Structure 1
Amino acid sequence: MSVYNKGRWSETEAMLMAVKDSHSVKVSKLEVAIGELERDLGKTASSLLKEKKARKAKSSEVRRLQRQIEGDARLASRGIREATDALRSEFSARLAKISAFLGSLECIQNRELALATIEGGVAMVQSFQSETPPTLEAEEARLSGCKGNLAVVDGDFDLILADLKSACFLPTWSEGP
């Protein structure tokens, strides 16, 4: 080989070495970049798994809360139905009681009306049968007796009216917490 060829060969060899060194540096840099990317990928994958687990846990919690809300709504609805039924029953019972009291009042009124009619008829017959008309004092005594009888009957009305008022009183419904 000639000196010229030897020189060229050395030059080529030197260039090859420079290219090889350059490639080595690039390969090293790429390996470092790949390592960083792999590490970042690992972190991202780990974060993604954590997010999936968190999302799954939240989804489970949401479903649990929905079931709880639905259950609470069913309980509240049932409670409202039961309270409404209880109030309806109490109202019906009070209406029946009021009806009975009104029937008693009507019966007493009819009895008193019949009694007053009979007493008036008897008094008229007695006044026609007597040879002397009744004196003012006698008539006053008779009317006082009627007044006493009416006071007793009035007491019956007051008692029934008080019972009727208590039957009409509906307590207010206060809902507990």
Structure 2
Amino acid sequence: MSDHPQGTERQTDQRVGRRAHRKALAAIVLFVGFIACVTVFEPSDLYLWMKAFHIVAVISWMAGLLYLPRLFIYHTDAAPGSAQSETFKVMEQRLLTVIMAPAMMITWVLGLYLAWTVYGFQGGWLHAKLALVAILTGVHMHYSAAARRFRDDGPRRTARYWRMVNEVPALLMIAIVILVVVKPF
């Protein structure tokens, strides 16, 4: 017997989680398949297609990088093992595995493709951008490790820490966008 009204499911239920993972996987396969089709058929504007897909992946990745520390801020207030803490664990893991990790991988693959085919890995601005994206990847890894600690009810950082860390991806994003648009060196 369920504690919630008939016909509704808790979003933290495993069945709902499996369905969400299947839908996300289908979306990722469709996205990658679309990229593959565009690559195989090599339209004259292939660069623009790859650039568009790269931007979509970057936006998805950045959304997760900006949202996940907000979840951590609220999670620090939840008692380990509480229903609220368990809900945050589900939210954090789904965000990481369903959105952030695939978006990061697609961002890197398409970004490297563009860096090679368009710029031949030349340009100081490009090297600086790649370095900042590598740092952003390190931030992603730091968040992944923190999510594992939360999942295991391990030691937690303070909400204040997560508020400060929450600014890092935004600052990196600003610098990256300036490098890409302005190409200052």
* Shared fold per TM-score greater than 0.5: no
Higher helix share: 1
TM normalised by structure 1 equals: 0.31
Look at both structures and tell me which one has the larger radius of gyration over its CA atoms. 1
Q: Which one scores higher on RCO, CA 8 angstroms, separation ≥ 6?
A: 1
TM normalised by structure 2 equals: 0.30
